[in-house]
Amino acid sequence: EAQVTQNPRYLITVTGKKLTVTCSQNMNHEYMSWYRQDPGLGLRQIYYSMNVEVTDKGDVPEGYKVSRKEKRNFPLILESPSPNQTSLYFCASSLYRAGELFFGEGSRLTVL
């Protein structure tokens, strides 16, 4: 089954404790992206990757890092989480940059 898998789905952590949200897709998609969803603000792009070893900032990249060492994986790293990073995070992929996005089920992160 074609899917985008994120882990963990739910996480409560404390300020400053590094964490990684993993994302994996099994569709051989070139393009992958991370979004955060906040009430009233819709989906805002954090980082995206057009292919292996190619990443770029989206609209709200501050406080986040990503890497794309393999085509299927695109982890989101919060080196020192802060409460304003409490949000619902979505990973998405598409065959190419201009293609339609497939989304993961989301990861709800709370930073205390």
Partner 1 sequence: GQQLNQSPQSMFIQEGEDVSMNCTSSSIFNTWLWYKQDPGEGPVLLIALYKAGELTSNGRLTAQFGITRKDSFLNISASIPSDVGIYFCAGRITVRTGANNLFFGTGTRLTVIP
Question: Which residue number, 80 or 96, has a Cβ lying nearer to partner 1?
Answer: 96
Question: Which residue number, 75 or 89, has a Cβ lying nearer to partner 1?
Answer: 89
Q: Is the dihedral of CA 55, 97, 104, 47 positive or negative?
A: positive
Name residue, tokens 């969803």. 37
Least distance (Å) between residue 100 CB and partner 1: 5
Interface residue list for partner 1 (CB under 8 A): 4, 35, 40-45, 48, 50, 54, 56, 58-59, 90, 92, 97-98, 100-106
Side-by-side strand order, sheet with 65-66: 4-7, 19-25, 76-78, 65-66
